[in-house]
Amino acid sequence: MRISFTVALAALALSSTTNGLKILMNNDDGFGSGNLRELYKLLKGAGHDVLIVAPAVQQSGQGGRSEFTAYANLTSPAQYNIVQAGAPAVGTDPNDSNIWYYNGTPAACTFVALDYVLPRYYASWNRAPDLFIAGPNYGVNLGPFVYTLSGTLGATYAAVSRSIPGIALSASNDAIPYFNVTNTTNPATWAAKASLKVVQSFIDNTPANSQILPLGYGVNVNIPPLDSDAIPPITKARLTGEAETDIAVFNETTKLFKYGDLRPLAAGVNVCYNGDCELPGETFVVNGGNVSVSLFTIDYTAPKIGYTEAVFAKIGGLFEESGNATKTVKRGMEGRGKILKGRDVSREE
């Protein structure tokens, strides 16, 4: 039986819509970022329902800090004068109602998206995106020390804390306003294409009606400098391994401090206790010209190994003085369920 081209095209469109995900995007470079907007366009082109809620202005280096503005209106223009002073502190781009800004930190934008924008304006999302994406950032975010500083990762961690699979993306290109990305040979477009390849692979290899990531998991992706749209090899990595931490550098003339890189590299930021310690560090991977993909979890608890037991043993007497306090607390937790259940969907492994 022959099927008309029109019918086939309609079926393809329906399939694309059906298989598309609800994706919430954010960043720390501001809602006018060329990187952010280029990936937004590519994700929409791939058939996904995409929403941006990102800072009104540049908010790099905020980490997981959740700061909400004290003013109902913008006291100065938003990034690149996209929105003028006096406009509401939360609102949409004049040219795209699915691109929102909020005058707060990246993590705050994540929460504003989940608790204000979605329930009020996107009821069909049920306050629960299928996937959260931050970035691509201008500049890589490598290693566990930078992990605590990055607004890109802070926004992602906030989403993961709310039971939403999160992917943090960071590239190596310079900042550029979205309206200055005028051709496909722009590094912002290259960064977006590399990002899409990783993101779409996660999506394509997830069975229907399944979570993209296990509960409490996030992904950190870092992209090296690109000189074309050719995507470098994508490499499995870990956060530690040749990672950097800072030192305070004092200027005798100005009497001011600035940060510098510690040499030799610090052992404390590179010791491996969790995950596969045979994997190369993401810093090494990106410095070698590859794209790194590392996984992190929301749980900072030290692993159950000899070191952990030895540390607890040093205050074992305090635990003994408290009698059966630990057992009592554990019984109380068991009574409430292994995983506390709230609005978010919980899954017990």
Cβ distance 212 to 202 under 8 Å? Answer: yes
- Select from 130, 86, 111, 97 the least CA-distant residue to 31: 97
Q: Please say whether the dihedral angle defined by the alpha carbons of residues 54, 58, 63 and 67, taken in this order, is positive or negative.
A: negative
Q: What is the DSSP string of 299-324?
A: --PPPSSHHHHHHHHTTHHHHHHTTT
Question: How far is residue 12's CA from residue 46's CA, in Å, rounded to a whole number?
Answer: 12
Q: From its phi and psi, is residue 114 left (phi > 0), alpha (psi between -120 and 50) or beta? A: alpha
Instruction: List, edge to edge, every strand of the sheet that includes 166-171.
Output: 90-93, 96-102, 49-55, 22-26, 131-138, 166-171, 217-222, 291-297, 234-236
Active site residue 161: no
Active-site hit among 33, 60, 150, 170: 170
Give the position of tokens 């005058």: 103
Question: How far is residue 228's CA from residue 234's CA, in Å, rounded to a whole number?
Answer: 16
- Catalytic residue numbers read 170
